[in-house]
């Protein structure tokens, strides 16, 4: 069994301690360290060399957005999941641009957090349902799809729906009876047509513009 090394970055030590105890109950997980802010984490990153990081967004000294960007510049294969509070969905776009692959709220259950970590470790993205609803209720701040003079095809909308639901390319391919390569082609077209830079931004875009009904 391969162990997933996890680092926690949060300025609330009581929260980090509780989260550490929760995660260490999972056989495949091992919390290797806790940092109190972004600067502290970046100093410890070379020594820790984690597989995945649970990153608070709002922290003193250095916030999660800047920390995520700098950490991925040092270790591009690092997987980062953003920890948010309710009402902080406006930070998600910035965290997506910085390179975060997952978004969960701090009141997440242990089982869902385990699921999120395992999905992100596979190279997929993860948004908890509460985050999706928070993003949706925050209203659109983006250009609507028609302003790109590009219309999504019915097939692309179907793929987009599955992406927002959190399905992997392989799972989408099985549901649509097409190849994973075809799914990846649709996904690339969606990213291009919406002006997004990656799948995480695509999910946020689709939810904010109510392209997909949650």
| Span 171-186, pLDDT tens digits | 999 999 999 999 999 9
Res. 145: pLDDT tops 70? no
- pLDDT-derived band at 138 (thresholds 50, 70, 90) equals low
User: How many other C-beta atoms can be found within 10 angstroms of the C-beta atom of residue 155?
Assistant: 13
Res. 86: pLDDT tops 80? no
The region of weakest confidence among 19-23, 60-64, 68-72, 143-147 is 143-147
- Asked whether the CA dihedral 115, 116, 122, 126 is positive or negative, the reply is positive
Res. 69: pLDDT tops 50? yes
Q: What is the pLDDT of residue 130?
A: 84
Q: Residue 64, class by beta-carbon neighbours within 10 Å (0-12 exposed, 13-18 middle, 19+ buried)? A: buried
Res. 136: pLDDT tops 60? yes
* Residue, of 149 and 12, whose pLDDT is higher: 12
Architecture of domain 4-137: 3-Layer(aba) Sandwich (3.40)
- pLDDT-derived band at 143 (thresholds 50, 70, 90) equals very low
Give the residue range(s) of CATH 1.10.10.10 domains in the chain: 145-208
Give the residue range(s) of CATH 3.40.50.2300 domains in the chain: 4-137
Range of 90-99, 140-149, 177-186 with top mean pLDDT: 177-186
Q: What is the pLDDT of residue 36?
A: 95
Res. 83: pLDDT tops 70? yes
For the 145-208 domain, the top CATH level (class) is mainly alpha
Res. 19: pLDDT tops 90? yes
Q: What is the pLDDT of residue 71?
A: 97
**E strands in the chain:** 4-9, 29-35, 52-56, 79-84, 102-105, 126-127
Report pTM. Answer: 0.85
**Cβ(64)–Cβ(38) under 8 Å?**
yes
- pLDDT-derived band at 152 (thresholds 50, 70, 90) equals confident
Give the Cα separation of 129 and 25 in Å (integer): 24
């Amino acid at each position: 069994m391969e162990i997933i090394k996890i680092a926690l970055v949060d300025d609330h030590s009581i929260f980090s301690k509780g989260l550490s105890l929760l995660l260490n109950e999972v056989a495949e997980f091992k919390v290797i360290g806790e940092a109190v802010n972004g600067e502290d984490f970046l100093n410890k990153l070379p020594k820790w060399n984690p597989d995945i990081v649970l990153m608070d967004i709002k922290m003193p000294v250095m916030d999660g957005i800047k920390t995520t960007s700098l950490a991925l510049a040092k270790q591009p294969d690092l997987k980062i999941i953003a920890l948010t509070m309710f009402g902080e969905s406006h930070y998600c776009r910035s965290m997506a641009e910085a390179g975060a692959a997952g978004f969960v709220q701090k009141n997440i259950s242990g089982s869902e957090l385990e699921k999120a970590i395992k999905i992100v470790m596979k190279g997929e993205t993860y948004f908890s349902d509460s985050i999706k609803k928070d993003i949706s209720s925050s209203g659109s701040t983006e250009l609507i799809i028609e302003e790109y003079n590009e219309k999504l095809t019915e097939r692309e909308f179907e793929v987009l729906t599955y992406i927002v639901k959190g399905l992997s390319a392989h799972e989408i391919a099985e549901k649509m009876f097409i190849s994973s390569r075809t799914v990846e082609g649709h996904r690339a077209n969606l990213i291009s047509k919406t002006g997004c830079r990656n799948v995480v931004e695509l999910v946020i875009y689709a939810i904010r513009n109510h392209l997909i009904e949650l």
